[in-house]
Structure 1
Amino acid sequence: MTDPEPKSVVVERDLAHPPERVWRALTQPHLLAEWLMRTDFEPRTGHSFSFTAEWGAVECKVMEIEPERRLAYSWGDGVLDTVVTWTLTPTKTGAHLRMEQTGFRRDQPRYLMGATAGWPRFFDNLEQVLARETAQ
């Protein structure tokens, strides 16, 4: 019997903010630190960076970048080896944001459960940052 395909986590939201504002929140380190984690991210293909929090760090590398449309980076900690892909689509009222984290192996249920619980909270934080940025 072969292992099933690796599992993924997908979160999608319609946001009442233009794509360029959402893109800034996805790519500017000071904004990423407000809604996701502290980081030394730079929006350029091949750039290696980290996300850090009280519990530890995640090592990443930019794999693909299409400004205001698509961003993909590896996401791992030495055991976990996944890819996070952000897709941004303009809408009449703002933007549709889709995040997919792929590559969870069957023997990594804690990572999968953590991502399933964590990403919706990060999206909530993102919406708060976007609302605050709009109000300024």
Structure 2
Amino acid sequence: MGETRAITVEKVLPYPAEKVWRTLTTSELLVKWLMPNDFVAAVGHRFNFRTRPMGDWDGVVQCEVLACDPPKLLRYSWKGGADTNPDYGSKLDSTVTWTLTPVDGGTHLRMVHDGFVFPGNRFAFDAMSPGWGKIMDAIGRVTAEA
């Protein structure tokens, strides 16, 4: 087993934590900044994100809510990909943790996507690192509109 890495992205959004929480946990809003899904904010709930299939991967990210403490903490597993895909769609078994902290002028939002094992998940890590930054910006836009 190789070295494990995490992607960490942080941003202060000019909204109260409760409003940001809604953006993170409402299925209809999640689709606007991430992917189609069947998410419910309840520990133990199994759900999927769906995206474009690639190679032997069906495009489904299988997830389970591991922790849910509104409006402070949300953690879920993130599993998908295929062993036969060397690049995009490679096998990934990881977790995503969202932490919301009230600050002057809004909410500090921190996302940690942990569990990228090198060298096998290098492509996913390199592709998703800038992607999560763009997603954080999209969360801000969706929260503003919600």
TM-score, normalization by structure 1: 0.91
What's 1:30 paired with?
28
Counterpart position of 1:67: 70
Shift of 1:9: 0.1
How far the C-alpha of 1:23 sits from its partner, in A, is 0.1
Deviations 1:33-82 (A, max 9, x none): 11111110001001100011234221100001111000000001052000
Question: Secondary structure, in 3 states, of the residue corresponding to 1:31?
Answer: helix
1:1-136 equivalence runs, <5 A: 3-4=2-3, 6-55=4-53, 56-78=59-81, 79-107=91-119, 108-133=121-146
Aligned pair count reads: 131
- Using a 3 Å threshold, how does the CA distance of structure 1 residues 53 and 3 change in structure 2: closer, same or farther? closer
Between the aligned partners of 1:81 and 1:33, the Cα distance in structure 2 is 22
Q: CA RMSD in A?
A: 1.3
For structure 2, list consecutive stretches of 5 or more residues without a partner in the other structure: 54-58, 82-90
Identity of aligned residues (%): 40
Separation in 2, partners of 1:3, 1:120? 25
Structure 1: distance between partners of 2:2 and 2:143:
40
1:111 deviation in Å? Answer: 1.0
| Greater helix content | 1
In structure 1, how many angstroms separate the alpha carbons of the residues matched to 2:130 and 2:102? 26
Following TM superposition, where does structure 1 have runs of at least 4 consecutive aligned residues deviating by more than 6 angstroms? none
Distance 1:99 1:80 in 2: 17
Deviation at residue 130 of structure 1 after TM alignment = 1.3
Aligned equivalents of 1:68, 1:31: Cα separation in 2: 16
